[in-house]
Structure 1
Amino acid sequence: MAHPVVVGVDGSDGSLWAVDWAAAEADRSGLPLRLIHASLWERYEGILPRSTTDRPSEQIYAENLVGSAEQRVHVLAPDVRVSTDVQPEDPVAALVAAGRGAALLVVGPRGRGTVTGMLLGSVGLAVAARAACPVVVARGAEPSRRGEYGRVVLGVGESTGSTAAAHFAFRAARARGCELLAVRAWRSPARENMPYPQPGGEAEAACRRRAEECLDRVVDVVVATYPEVRLERKTVHGTTHQTLLEETAEADLLVVGAKRRHGAVGMQLGRVNHAMLHHAPCPVAVVPAGSVTEESLPDAGTPTR
């Protein structure tokens, strides 16, 4: 049985972005799509006896909400198999539980919460930190969310699940029939500590070589598996978060890795992960180390581009 693409639905504009993105991903991957709405409505309206035919208004609202989302998917991707699920459960707990049997979890950048100034909603951030499978936050401008640029960007880190992230990024590029940019940022203390820094020198060359070796070490593990993917390798002097923001200005997807927490459930989201989840100009996939397998990865036999 194929692992589904799971998307959280709460009626917000951000969740509609997530539904649209997830529908397109399921369509090109040939995977089923599962729409989930979870809220603790029974805390406020009480659990009714089984003998009554009445249902709490929040449950009716939730069922209408996922029903509308299902119809939206049928219009956007009529070949995708869709299932819906309404749960009287904490949204984070419900989505994390669904992610244990999912190929991918998709959430919007913001929900229906009252803190509208937050760039990423608390549910999305908590899911990204706790899920066992890759999580995509469907953020960014519409051209990026619609996949109009034809480029996937892989942010290569030191040891933050980069091999799993590389597999995911190559598969995403192959499914889209687009190019993959693997980028690694580096910094030279010798240049930054000088009052009038000048490019060049042995210390800077050594920093650049280490960045190139790190990038090659991650990419070379998986590149032979995806000969059809057009790959560009790039090392950039600068901070990681600024480099990724610049390189994803015209990208369809940013893929970053994350380490698993030792002795705890979930991922260890570092500063770069947080910065991208809050500020990236395109959808962001956070891939936990060891989460990607051939059976669970989204894929498509024929590229869409």
Structure 2
Amino acid sequence: MSETGTAGAIVVGVDGSEAATRAVRWAAETAAERGLPLRLAHALTLSGGYYGGGLAVPREFFEAIERDSERVLDEAMEVASTAGPGVDIDTVLVREPVIPSLLELSGEARMIVLGGVGQGGFPGMRLGSTAVAVSSHAHCPVVVVRNRDGEDVPTEGPVVVGVDGSPTSERAVAVAFEEASLRGAPLVAVHAWLDGDYDTVFSPARSYSTWESVDEVERRALAERLAGWQEKYPDVRVERVVARDRPRHQLLEWSARARLLVVGCRGRGGFRGLLLGSTSQAMLQHADCPVLVVRSDPAG
């Protein structure tokens, strides 16, 4: 293990699964592009030393788990070295539960990267547990690397960000502009403002002129939210999308064309109830590209 440490590094959770391997490859390529160190983290959780009526677990059992964990890290190191030649790669084998371990590592990391599903050293690493918990509480942005069915993780297309005007959304916009600039990609800013039930919202009582005026207000508000960032990142070509639709519908549709989807952990207004478990969780479970989750207060 090198002495690189976690400060400023991209930290990726490793568990030996195919999803984790995709995450390692994505993280290594990103680290190489940005000249950042990479840390591969594997959680070795040994719960209890007894079984079967109080009989002690043989030492060989623990030694076998240790060897398997080292194998997982060695294989991840090989993948990372190939995907990110020249990257300073560090490995860490932690003997604590995975979620608090990753949250601790997030305190100094540039970002945490996880696979969409997992197994092995990250037991139960499903989007209802590790990825959701880490995305909700990490001190840095968290990327859950998703691929399209039967395809590799996308490397083409725009960076897409959900915009709703909340503090979390403002930070997501900032991160999205930075990501688009670093990747040389266009940015699509999506604002979906439909909260009501379709049958009620699209009732005959609603006049087209009313919809037109609301739509214009939403477009103007989105343009104002992006104006300062467009000045800061003049190299980023921006497409503004305002839709009378539910946020998750719009973002999932755009994820089929995007290389990265950026969402806030919480939201309001057009993204009302944007908590992991609603829009953000829907992205983590169903998006067709990597999803980057941003908190409004990463230090909180």
Q: Common fold, TM-score beyond 0.5? A: yes
* Residues 156-305 of structure 1 mapped to structure 2, 5 A cutoff: 156-159=163-166, 161-187=168-194, 192-193=199-200, 197=204, 201-259=208-266, 268-269=275-276, 271-291=278-298
Q: Distance in 1 between matches of 2:220 and 2:259?
A: 26
Amino acid at match of 1:145: V
Matched, 1:40 2:45: yes
Deviations 1:157-199 (A, max 9, x none): 2315112111111111111111111111122869852676598
Is 1:145 the counterpart of 2:153? The answer is: yes
TM-score relative to the length of structure 2 = 0.82
Name structure 2 gaps, 5 residues minimum: 1-5, 52-58, 268-273
Report the CA distance between 1:137 and its aligned residue.
Answer: 0.4
Distance 1:253 1:143, change over 3 A: farther
Measure the CA separation in 1 of the matches of 2:116 and 2:87.
23
Contact 1:111 1:121 in 2 (8 A): no
Q: State how many pairs are aligned.
A: 278
| Aligned-partner Cα distance in 1 for 2:159–2:15 | 28
Contact 1:188 1:203 survives alignment (8 Å): no
Partner of 2:75 in structure 1? 68
Q: Deviations over 1:184-226 (max 9, x none)?
A: 1122869852676598633212321342234224322322111
Let me know the Cα RMSD of the aligned residues.
Answer: 3.2
Please say if 1:28 is aligned against 2:36.
Answer: no
Instruction: Out of 197-206 and 2-11, give the one that drifted further.
Output: 197-206
For 1:51-66, what aligned pairs fall within 5 Å after superposition?
56-66=63-73
CA displacement at 1:71 relative to structure 2: 1.3
Q: Assess if the C-alpha contact under 8 Å between 1:134 and 1:285 holds in 2.
A: yes
Contact 2:7–2:108 (8 Å) recurs in 1: no
Shift of the 4–178 alpha-carbon distance from structure 1 to 2, 3 Å rule, reads same
Q: Report deviation, 1:84.
A: 0.2
Q: d(CA) in 1 for partners of 2:82 and 2:197?
A: 57
Identity %: 35
Residues 31, 37 of structure 2: 8 Å contact kept: yes
- The answer to whether residue 116 in structure 2 is matched with residue 109 in structure 1 is yes
Q: Distance in 2 between matches of 1:197 and 1:117?
A: 49
* Pair 1:92 & 2:99 matched: yes
CA distance in 1, matches of 2:204, 2:195: 10
Distance in structure 1 (CA, Å) of the matches to 2:47 and 2:217: 55
Instruction: Report if aligned partners of 1:111, 1:123 keep a CA contact under 8 Å in 2.
Output: no
Aligned 8 A contact 1:153 1:254 in 2: yes
Q: Which position in structure 1 is the counterpart of 2:88? A: 81
| Residues 22-54 of structure 1 deviation map (CA, whole Å, 9 limit, x = unaligned) | 1111111211101000131263589xxxxx9x9
* 3-state SS in 2 of match to 1:70: helix
Which runs of at least 4 in structure 1 moved beyond 6 Å after TM superposition?
Answer: 116-119
**Residue 169 of structure 2 aligns to which amino acid in structure 1?**
S
SS at match of 2:19: helix
